Amino acid sequence: MERRGLELGVGSFLLVGLVCLAYLSLKLGDVHPLGSEDYTVVAKFSNVAGLKQKTAVTMAGVNIGQVKNISLKDGQALVTFGIHRDVKLEEDVVASIKAMGIIGDKYVAIAPGASDEYIKPGGTIHETRPPLDIENLLGKFVFGSVEQKGGEPPAGASDKPSLDLESPGRTPEGSGGK
């Protein structure tokens, strides 16, 4: 009789362990056997550099979904989002690709709209903004092609570097030539 109680205890412990393992596997694998908790929305971007599948989609800094798929259609990137069912997106929302920090991972930020109409599941976000190209912007700034308002270059700016270190006899100011 004592052996039977021990076998029952070990069997139930093993069963509870397997149920916990199955639950963790489904949660960590982001698998929904009873159906998805999201609805899909698509958006076209001219550039999605650095954006990856399963990237966060946020509104006001709160996670509201994730990127499900990225594909190319008619020369533009078609991004499919999975948005939580309890979040309603207005027809005039703006989806933009942002970076976490200066060189951080990309994510999608959705700015709320003011429309009374909502995007239906499978609908499209019409207003999008591609990511800021930091490398291109820095290159323009360093090489002097960034212009001020009005189309004029910054005061004192020229097309050539202000210090020519490769010319013989030229030294940086204050070095004394040695």
Asked whether residue 5 carries a pLDDT value surpassing 80, the answer given is yes
For residue 27, tell me if it sits in a domain.
yes
Entry field: residues in the chain: 178
Query: Could you tell me if residue 68 is inside a domain?
Result: yes
The whole-model pTM stands at 0.61
Same domain, 30 and 63: no
Q: What is the dihedral of CA 114, 60, 70, 74, to 10 degrees?
A: 30
Nearest to 57 by CA among 69, 47, 73: 69
Positive/negative CA dihedral, 116, 43, 133, 101 = positive
Answer yes or no: do 21 and 70 share one domain: no
> Are 74 and 103 part of one and the same domain?
yes
57, 114: one domain = yes
| Percent above pLDDT 70 for the chain | 76
| Calpha distance 119→124 (Å, rounded) | 7
Q: Is residue 169 part of a domain?
A: no
Query: Do 75 and 12 lie in a common domain?
Result: no
63 contacts 57 by C-beta, under 8 angstroms = yes
Is there a single domain that holds both residue 109 and residue 89? yes
Q: In what order do the strands lie in the sheet with 56-59?
A: 124-125, 38-45, 76-84, 62-73, 56-59, 106-111, 94-99, 127-129
**Do 122 and 66 reside in the same domain of the chain?**
yes
Is residue 178 scored above 50 in pLDDT?
no
Q: Are residues 56 and 85 in the same domain?
A: yes
Residue 119 located in a structural domain: yes
How many angstroms from the chain centroid is the CA of residue 125?
Answer: 16
- Residues 74 and 99 grouped into a single domain: yes
* Residue 170 pLDDT greater than 90, yes or no: no
Residue 58 inside a domain? The answer is yes
Averaged pLDDT score across all residues of the chain: 80
pLDDT at 165 over 60: no
Question: Among residues 133, 151, 171, which one ends one of the domains?
Answer: 133
pLDDT confidence band for 2 (50 / 70 / 90):
confident
In a domain, 141, yes or no: no
- Residue 20: give the domain boundaries: 7-35
Cross-strand pairs, 83:
39, 65
- Asked if 115 and 86 sit in the same domain, the reply is yes
DSSP string, 10-70: HHHHHHHHHHHHHHHHHHHTT--TT--SEEEEEEEES--TT--TT-EEEETTEEEEEEEEE
Tell me: do 15 and 55 sit in the same domain. no
Q: Say how far apart CA 167 and CA 162 lie, in whole Å.
A: 12
The pLDDT tens digits of the residues spanning 17-33 come to 999 998 888 777 766 66
Q: Which residues of 93-112 are buried (b: 16+ CB within 10 A; e: fewer)?
A: bebbbeeeeeeeebbbbbee
Measured distance CA(120)–CA(89) in Å, rounded: 8
pLDDT of residue 45: 93
Total domain count for the chain? 2
Question: Residue 1 — pLDDT band, cuts 50, 70, 90?
Answer: low
17 and 82 part of one domain? no
